[in-house]
Amino acid sequence: MTEAILEPDLPIIDPHHHLWDLRPMMGAFPEPHHPFIAAVARSPYYTFNELHADTTSGHNVIGTVFMECGAFYRSGAGDALKVVGEVEYVNGVAAQSASGLYGNQRLCAAIIGHADLQLGDGVRDVLETLMATTARFKGIRHQGAWDANPDTLGPPFHAPPGLYRDATFREGFKHLGDLGLTFDAWVLEPQLADVIDLARAFPNQPIVLDHCGTPLGMGPYHGKLHERFDGWRQAIHDLAACPNVTVKLGGLAMSFAGMPDHGPEAGLPSETLAAMWRPYIETCIEAFGPTRAMFESNYPVDKWGASYPVLWNAFKRLTLGASADEKRALYAGTAATFYGIEDLLD
């Protein structure tokens, strides 16, 4: 699907994308028919060249934020510290971009890594090691996505139920605030109460909810988006009442959401995608406001439903009536503030 780029001069900081080389792992997945695995199989290799090609495909992407995905872990390191390898690798990509040889973009200007908060107080050493690796390291994500039906997520995800309420997890979580680090929360829509509880328990900890809270439209939830919408919307408004929480507007092109329910790169025009996503995006912006909301690509995962240019065109169609200040916040300003990369806007 090829489209003319809408508002090509609008500055964008893409606050959520991955880098990986999953080719050696693909044979280990026992369910290659699962939509998520099928999508990943189409893009098992996504490093600097692929990211640069996507972010220079028409929209004015001035910088990006890398999001942990369990890739490039340090070989031979213990379980606690192997995560440092991912941050080291991404910092190299950031340096490659910052060289200026590939343009003025700042790819991976901020890096969100992973540390196992279930180590409790023991996670402090891991966090401090990550911080010492690079000033680009800004925080962590410890995903808590879980569903009782294994068909919902598929084999790559193994978070235990109720992770964000676990006492040992929270023992580790408190060190994020002590060190001035951010936290990305990824859960599924039925788990939003866990994020609300966590945000209320740590009111001074900056938290960002990934992927609009991941509405579900596949597996046992197929065909139930409409009937589950009111519950999702109420949870979003309850979470927005926590002033320490921000939301990422995206992730709706993942296979989990079923918007669209076929892919990869379903070939739908941005008008169709915008109409599909409008109730979710507009609810989140209404609840959080533009200064606590940021559009995200979630690439290459969202390649399931849209190419990179079409994805951002769909977002821009949803903000046609927004003011210049609102667009500045939604597309770059909120991300720059949350992740401490305001210099990108100079």
On the 0-12 / 13-18 / 19+ scale of CB atoms within 10 A, 275 is: middle
Name all contacts of 277-284 with Cβ < 8 Å and 24+ positions apart: 277/252, 277/314, 277/318, 278/318, 279/229, 280/212, 280/215, 280/232, 280/252, 281/212, 281/249, 281/252, 281/315, 281/318, 282/318, 283/233, 283/236, 284/212, 284/236, 284/247, 284/249
Task: State the DSSP H helix or E strand holding residue 106, giving kind and residue range, or none if neither.
Answer: strand 106-113
CATH number of 11-345: 3.20.20.140
Backbone angles phi, psi at 62, to 5 degrees: -90, -20
**Residue appearing with tokens 């028919």:** 33
pLDDT in tens, the chain (346 residues): 689 999 999 999 999 999 999 776 655 555 555 666 666 666 788 999 999 999 999 999 999 999 999 999 999 999 999 999 999 999 999 999 999 999 999 999 999 999 999 999 999 999 999 999 999 999 999 999 999 988 888 767 779 999 999 999 999 999 999 999 999 999 999 999 999 999 999 999 999 999 999 999 988 999 999 999 999 999 999 999 999 999 999 999 998 998 988 765 668 999 999 999 999 999 999 999 999 999 999 999 999 899 999 999 999 999 999 999 999 999 999 999 999 999 999 8
| Residue 321 CB neighbour total at 10 angstroms | 6
- Exposed, middle or buried: residue 7 (CB in 10 Å: 0-12, 13-18, 19+)? middle
Contact of 233 with 298, CB cutoff 8 Å: no
Separation of first and last alpha carbons in the chain = 34
DSSP string, 235-296: HHHHHHTSTTEEEEE--TTSTTT-SSSS-SS----HHHHHHHHHHHHHHHHHHH-GGGEEE-
Contact 120, 171 (CB under 8 A): yes
pLDDT of residue 19: 97
Determine the Cα–Cα distance for residues 221 and 153; give it in Å rounded to an integer. Answer: 11
Structure token digits, residue 164: 């964000």
Instruction: Work out the burial of residue 205: count CB atoms within 10 Å of its CB; fewer than 13 is exposed, 13-18 middle, 19 or more buried.
Output: buried
**Quick check: 89 and 139 in contact, CB under 8 A?**
no
pTM, rounded to two decimals: 0.95
| Residue (of 48, 142, 28, 163) closest to 95 by Cα position | 48
Give the closest residue to 142 by CA, choosing from 175, 120, 171, 173.
Answer: 173
